Chains A and B, each alone.
Chain A
Amino acid sequence: AQSVTQLGSHVSVSEGALVLLRCNYSSSVPPYLFWYVQYPNQGLQLLLKYTSAATLVKGINGFEAEFKKSETSFHLTKPSAHMSDAAEYFCAVSDRGAAGNKLTFGGGTRVLVKP
């Protein structure tokens, strides 16, 4: 079964600093990979996804993620944090070709942005 590990349940960054959230997956076959964001008291919203082709994926709100097969990683970055980036971020995977659109989520990383 797929598993997803997010390193660090909480991350604190200063406004304007780099945001780096780590995600590693376990699969011998590269899966589809996703990053979702959850603002307080809301549902999840898709930030970006990797399905094939380009390994550097750009998403909404200035976020991007790079798929590295050799490291089985899909880390999320943003060059300059804004106060509005304070939220919880989830990495998720889905098996290619598997029946059903079933996502496996990591445990989440809560981001605090300091002024």
Chain B
Amino acid sequence: NAGVTQTPKFQVLKTGQSMTLQCAQDMNHNSMYWYRQDPGMGLRLIYYSASEGTTDKGEVPNGYNVSRLNKREFSLRLESAAPSQTSVYFCASSEGGTALYEQYFGPGTRLTVT
């Protein structure tokens, strides 16, 4: 049982390049989330998927797109990377879509945009 896995662990992009961050969970969870972590700002929600087939914007969605590929996988795409997107990105999942359900976090992807 690997929990929540993320690939890649590290990535360096040049401004304007695109990339997709991958996330998968093996806990049969219904809801999945993408956060970014910046120093002094905690984690901020980018997008979430309450259930397979649905996605919704979070607090900071600009510059990102997501795809809930199936129940296990939730990817985050940067179409044209900008230096302001340099951050650590975390994927999380939960059994249900309310705050009564604990969110389980992956190990993160450290992204640098030059």
A-to-B contact residues, CB < 8 Å = 4, 9, 32, 41-46, 49, 51, 90, 92, 94-96, 98-108
- List B14-36 residues whose CB lies under 8 Å from chain A: 31, 33
How near does chain B come to A48, taking the closest CB pair, in angstroms?
A: 11
22 contacts between A and B (CB under 8 A): A9-B40, A43-B92, A43-B107, A44-B92, A45-B105, A51-B99, A90-B43, A92-B42, A92-B43, A95-B99, A100-B48, A100-B56, A100-B98, A101-B48, A101-B97, A101-B99, A102-B45, A102-B58, A102-B99, A105-B42, A106-B42, A107-B41
B contacts, CB < 8 Å to A: 4, 31, 33, 40-45, 48, 50, 56, 58-59, 90, 92, 94, 96-103, 105-108
Interface of A is mostly: loop
- Which residues of the partner chain A approach B43 to less than 8 Å between Cβ atoms? 44, 90, 92, 103, 105
Query: Is A101 a contact of B101 with CB atoms below 8 Å?
Result: yes
Known: A46-B103, A49-B102. A101 touches B96 (CB 8 A): yes
Asked if B108 contacts A103 (CB within 8 A), the reply is: no
Instruction: Point out the residues of chain A lying under 8 angstroms from B40, CB to CB.
Output: 9, 107-108
Main secondary structure of the interface of B (DSSP, over half): loop
- Nearest-neighbour CB distance to chain A for B92, whole angstroms, equals 8
User: Which 5 pairs between the two chains have the least Cβ-Cβ distance?
Assistant: A43-B105, A105-B42, A94-B99, A32-B99, A44-B105
Q: How far is the CA of A51 from the CA of B103 in the complex (A)?
A: 14
Let me know if A107 and B42 touch, CB within 8 A: yes
From A44, A46, A92, A101, B98 is in contact (CB under 8 Å) with: A101
CA distance A102 to B58 in the complex (A): 8
**How distant is the Cα of A101 from the Cα of B93 in the complex, in angstroms?**
10
Chain A residues with CB under 8 Å of B50's CB are 99-101
User: Within 8 Å CB of B41, what residues of A?
Assistant: 107
CB distance from B76 to the nearest CB of A (A): 15
State the CA gap A4–B59 with chains docked (Å).
14
A43 — which chain B residues lie within 8 A by C-beta? 4, 90, 92, 105-108
Given contacts A100-B97, A103-B43, A107-B41, 12 further A-B contacts (CB under 8 A): A32-B100, A41-B108, A42-B108, A43-B92, A43-B107, A43-B108, A44-B105, A46-B102, A94-B99, A100-B98, A103-B99, A108-B42
